[in-house]
Amino acid sequence: MNRLDWNALDNAARRAALARPAQSRAETLRNGVEQIIARVRADGDQALRELSARYDRCTLDVIEVSSQEIDEAEARLAPTLKAAIDEAAARIEAFHRVAAPQPVALDTARGVRVERVLRAINRVGLYVPAGSAPLPSTALMLGVPARIAGCTEVVLCSPARADGRCDEAVLYAARITGVHKVFKLGGAQAIAAMAYGTESVPKCDKLFGPGNAWVTEAKLQVSADPDGAAIDMPAGPSEVLVIADDKANATFVAADLLSQAEHGPDSQVILLSPSPTLLDAVEAEVERQCALLPRADIARQALSQSRLIAVSSLAQAVEVSNRYAPEHLIVQAEQPRDLLDAVTSAGSVFLGAWTPESVGDYCSGSNHVLPTYGYARSYSGVSVASFQKQITVQELSPAGLREIGPCTATLAAAEQLEAHRRAVTLRLAALETAA
């Protein structure tokens, strides 16, 4: 890992220190995704079968997963894994139900009622990757809030294996969260199918879920097309930033850094600490633990773009963290909650030595679909609200229009919108006539 001293860096060097690995939007990637989307739009299911054979190396006679296949998948699933999925789903549901938006109604003046009502997005599409490893946890993180929101139809796409089947755990997670349709589709073609619809795959209003560069590019392209679909958020590689003091356990810190580094070669991990001793210990521990990992080669590639940064204090560490806006922020300090109020930009925060980021990935109850690549400055993680529309309603009585009509007319006149002003003043005149 690269070792830096924050207070020895000028502004340009500080920007470089917090720079993320460049995301590829190379012309070849953009053009390749454009071609896939165009093929799916033109040829529908036939294009999906051909693309699945090419990219996923599987032959698909039927694209949709049948109930019988899900039954068989559930029967093959180890009881311990089923129990863990059930446990995680219950915890995720408990938190998301409490955190869900609530309707609001308020009289803002005498005779003026303003409300906010909630409506579920009609049809949503969930993408669950299965590249280097299947992710049933993502099916839980997306399926549970979609069900709580009350979406009319929930569609899930996940790549099939060479044998033409989807991962058993992903199918089981889809079943228990109430997903309505599951399709054996991956990559940009899955995003195109859900965004535009085919003979088998229904067109969705909004798409959710992480994926590789092709999936990310496809989501960006369909979200920019009025005929496409909205997306949950812009995405980038996984990342974690750890703030640690001299009391932190170097073994724990190293394990947390590696838990993100093993995601992929473009993942990024950063450690901020005012303790040179802790930085030394973590550097050595990362090397020791990395050698023991099955995905050590991937982790080492990620570590080559990661940082150990010395800061003057924990307060400065929080300032640097806010500037970086990490997807995951871990605070391993003697009094971690004391720093929480100062945290303004992070996807999810993990406080204390006994709170590894891994619990948030799976079963603490929070959501692991989070803003990456600095988008935590302006985006939130997926929640029930992500699957809903918030519609405001207002209703005025004659007394209410008398109360706030003059204010409306004055502001409309100031903006030189005469029709706006007259829509109010004509009604006020009618009320005066009737009186």
d(CA 236, CA 217): 10
Active site residue 327: yes
Going by C-alpha positions, the residue among 205, 138, 190 that lies closest to residue 160 is: 190
Beta bridge partners, 138, equal none
Backbone angles phi, psi at 100, to 5 degrees: -65, 145
Residue set of the binding site? 127, 189, 212, 238, 260, 263, 328, 361, 415, 420
3-class secondary structure, 245: coil
Q: How far is CA 140 from CA 314, 339, 363, in A?
A: 35, 31, 9
Please check whether residue 123 is in contact with residue 196, taking contact to mean a CB–CB distance below 8 angstroms.
no
Please check whether residue 288 is in contact with residue 257, taking contact to mean a CB–CB distance below 8 angstroms.
no
Q: One of 96, 328, 357, 368 is an active-site residue; which one? A: 328
Tokens of 35: 């071609």
Going by C-alpha positions, the residue among 315, 334, 230 that lies closest to residue 272 is: 315
Residue set of the binding site for NAD(+)? 127, 189, 212
How many angstroms separate the first and last alpha carbons of the chain?
80
Residue set of the binding site for Zn(2+)? 260, 263, 361, 420
Angle (CA) 57 192 44, round 5°: 75
Q: One of 239, 262, 327, 357 is an active-site residue; which one? A: 327
- For the range 392-396, what are the long-range contacts, defined as Cβ-Cβ under 8 Å and sequence gap of 24 or more? 392/114, 392/115, 392/116, 392/117, 393/114, 393/115, 393/116, 393/117, 394/112, 394/113, 394/114, 394/115, 395/113, 395/115, 396/111, 396/112, 396/113
Please check whether residue 176 is in contact with residue 23, taking contact to mean a CB–CB distance below 8 angstroms.
no
Q: Could you identify the residue written with the tokens 């996940």?
A: 158
Residue set of the binding site for substrate? 238, 260, 263, 328, 361, 415, 420
Please check whether residue 347 is in contact with residue 328, taking contact to mean a CB–CB distance below 8 angstroms.
yes
Element (H, E) at 242: strand 239-244
Please check whether residue 311 is in contact with residue 7, taking contact to mean a CB–CB distance below 8 angstroms.
yes
Active site residue 328: yes
Active-site residues, by number, are: 327-328
